[in-house]
A and B are shown apart, each in its own frame.
Chain A
Amino acid sequence: EVQLVESGGGLVKPGGSLRLSCAASGFSFRSYSMAWVRQAPGKGLEWVSSISTSSSNIYYADSMKGRFTISRDNAKNSLFLQMISLRAEDTAIYYCARDNSFDHWGQGSLVTVSS
């Protein structure tokens, strides 16, 4: 069974940093591209970033470029999202998702940016 478990969310002050993790199991992690998608409270889905199997191709939404960094560790079956210079508008549930078709999603990790 495919499982994606996010962690690392929490309350952070504006301008602060946070690193999210996504632990993958139940499939060959190194064979799939991965992505982060977020959802602000009461709002729709917003793509954050995607990374290819070997990390050779990395893409970001324009509003996240320069502040967010996606990475992965295939040896540890893990996906990461480093976020800096956080703003109130970054408050959201952050989901990790498998593959370019987003065929499996984690339960999400809540990030709250507030003073």
Chain B
Amino acid sequence: SYELAQPPSVSVSPGQTVRITCSGDKLGDKYACWFQQKPGQSPVLVIYQDTKRPSGIPDRFSGSNSGNTATLTISGTQAMDEADYYCQAWDSTTVVFGGGTKLTVL
């Protein structure tokens, strides 16, 4: 079965840029999405179709996807960005989520 791998945790200082990776076999041939989930809240879509931002998502969030790796980049990270982040892709008729990355803003 298809799998997506994410680092369990990443840390960043406020105002800096952080990149969260998501790896899967030929992931670049699929569309990747990213979700943000804060404690006690439902997930929120922050990036879809590799690079697109839903309305209301700040432009400091951006995405890319090539080869075997999709990347979520947060520029000028703010304390409010501290959360769990999940990547997701469709593999034929199956939905796969990555294991999640806990982003800590130090």
Interface residues of A (CB under 8 A from B): 35, 37, 44-47, 50, 57, 59, 61-62, 95, 100-108
Q: Shortest distance in angstroms between A45's beta carbon and chain B's nearest beta carbon?
A: 4
Interface string of B78-106 (1 = CB under 8 A from A): 00000010101010011111111000000
CB-contact partner of A107 in B35, B42, B49, under 8 A: B42
**Contact B45–A103 (Cβ < 8 Å):** yes
Q: Are A102's CB and B42's CB within 8 A?
A: no
Residues of A within 8 A of B99 (CB): 44
| Total contacts A-B at CB 8 Å | 52
Are A44 and B42 touching (Cβ within 8 A)? no
Taking CB atoms, residues of chain B closer than 8 Å to A59 are: 93-95
| A105-B49 contact, Cβ under 8 Å, with A44-B99, A45-B35 | no
Cβ contacts under 8 Å, B45 to chain A: 101-104
Q: CB distance B94 to A102 under 8 Å? A: no
B35 → A minimal CB distance (Å): 7
Within B25-66, the residues touching A (CB, 8 Å) are: 33, 35, 37, 42-45, 48-49, 54
A102 close to B43 (CB less than 8 A): yes
A61 to chain B: which residues have CB within 8 Å?
94-95
- Cα distance A61–B33 in the bound complex, in angstroms: 18
Contact for B42 among A50, A57, A103, A105, CB less than 8 A = A105
Interface centre among B42, B48, B86 (most CB of A within 10 A): B42
Q: Is the CB of A102 within 8 A of B33?
A: yes
B48 touches A103 (CB 8 A): yes
